[in-house]
Amino acid sequence: MKKLLPSLALLCSLTAQAEPRATGDLGLIIEREDSAALIINTTTHTQLAEIKGLGDLSHASVVFSRDQRYAYVFGRDGGLSKIDLLQDQLTKRIVQAGNSIGGAISQDGKLIAVSNYEPGGVKVFAADTLELVADIPAEYAPGKRSKVVGLVDAPGQKFVFSLFDAGEIWTLDMRDTKHPAIAKFKNIGKEPYDALMSPEGRFYIAGLFGESGLALLDLWDTVAGVKRILPTYGKDDDKLPVYKMPHLEGWAMAGDLLFAPAIGKHEVLVINKRDWTLLKAIPVLGQPVFVMARPDARQIWVNFAMPDNNQLQIIDVKELAVTNTLTPGKAVLHMEFTPRGEQVWVALRDDNQVLVYDTATLQEAARLPAKHPNGIFFSSRAHKIGF
């Protein structure tokens, strides 16, 4: 027994010296060109580790386990990577398709779904092992498979996604993993290219690239089918070149208002959620890409496609007008708010930096080095529907 005492003392000493890490304080910054991701602390503005070997991250997105310990990274090359945010390591990586466009985590946190361009469809994996649970081909005609876009999670252990080539929206019910249930909604509009889920998980809204308007599915009343929103907006306007497709998961819900980027136009659309009519089109300086609400819904932050991608604009929700224009740096690709919105992190790809703003004063709070950063994702997403 006496021989064990020094060993126990040493173990206790090492344990006492270990620095505890809270998962709710963590996030990932995607380093686009380096196939890597930085684990960061959002309170102290510090980099904790760099995780390499993540493949093609040119269109990467991330979801988090419900305990916020693990991050799942979806790569454009079909890669699905599981990162342990506490151990600073890549736990497992698989290549599950030829071309992937994002993914989602189920309501109970046990399933990871990935949307694929090639081959067109959705694959569902066990979150703990990344073993395949279900393979859902997006076949809309004999021998024809569609690219899948706009994949989000929904209440009831469901996923919802759109078929770009088919003009359809599908829901996937995974309550019985051995017998997935699919509901298909056809003729929803031409070329749905991305989508969002409203914060409470009721409304799935897909943007249409091939024609005017949006497609709305009310998950509380799926019998009613898909409704078209703003079917005549911009219908007769001259078609302008689109320099970067908007990312609709960044659409902003603020009370009864939906703020959405207008495709190819220098406008942010304000839509009344009570009747889904256009309330106002707010002029902005370029083609909007991300239109994101501060968590308290008082501000809307907007970034832009080239050649205006060095700027940000802020819309005041009360005034429904642009109140500030910022020039943070070269190639503003993505923004992420801290959980309560006191700060926003901004990826500056061509400056190899991430800039942190105080959202009340609009003053710079911090800068972090990062190699060609694009996506920024905080672990607080673990507790949000549709993220």
CA distance 159 to 309: 32
Domain for residue 133, yes or no? yes
Residue 18 has pLDDT above 60, yes or no: no
For residue 161, name the pLDDT band (cuts at 50, 70, 90). Answer: very high
Residue 23 has pLDDT above 50, yes or no: yes
In this structure, the dihedral spanned by the alpha carbons of residues 229, 231, 237 and 240, taken in order and rounded to 10 degrees, is 60
Which pLDDT tens digit goes with each residue over 227-245?
999 988 776 666 656 555 6
Tell me the mean pLDDT in the region 331-354: 96
The pLDDT value given to residue 59: 87
More confident residue, 98 or 238: 98
Residue 381 has pLDDT above 80, yes or no: yes
**Domain count along the chain:** 1
The pLDDT value given to residue 387: 84
Domain for residue 173, yes or no? yes
Please report which residue ranges of the chain form alpha helices under DSSP H: 4-17
Domain range holding 162?
Answer: 96-244
Tell me the mean pLDDT in the region 310-322: 97
Tell me the mean pLDDT in the region 324-329: 98
Instruction: Among 12-26, 27-41, 91-105, 115-129, name the one with the lowest average pLDDT.
Output: 12-26
Instruction: Among 12-21, 89-98, 169-178, 355-364, name the one with the lowest average pLDDT.
Output: 12-21
Classify residue 263 by burial, with Cβ atoms within 10 Å: 0-12, 13-18, 19+: buried
Domain for residue 202, yes or no? yes
* pTM of the entire predicted model: 0.93
Residue 17 has pLDDT above 60, yes or no: no
Residue 144 has pLDDT above 50, yes or no: yes
Residue 2 has pLDDT above 80, yes or no: no
The pLDDT value given to residue 250: 61
Residue 16 has pLDDT above 60, yes or no: no
Spatial CA neighbour of 271 closest among 220, 209, 203: 203
The pLDDT value given to residue 350: 96
Domain for residue 185, yes or no? yes
Residue 11 has pLDDT above 60, yes or no: no
Tell me the mean pLDDT in the region 206-217: 92
Domain for residue 91, yes or no? no
More confident residue, 10 or 136: 136
The pLDDT value given to residue 255: 84
Triad 73, 78, 79: Cα angle to 5°: 40
Q: Which one-letter amino acid corresponds to residue 280?
A: K
The pLDDT value given to residue 9: 45
Classify residue 109 by burial, with Cβ atoms within 10 Å: 0-12, 13-18, 19+: middle
Domain for residue 37, yes or no? no
Domain for residue 382, yes or no? no
Please give the backbone phi and psi of residue 383, each rounded to the nearest 5 degrees, phi first. Answer: -115, 25
Domain for residue 168, yes or no? yes
Q: How far apart are the first and last CA of the chain?
A: 53
CATH code of the domain containing 104: 2.130.10.10
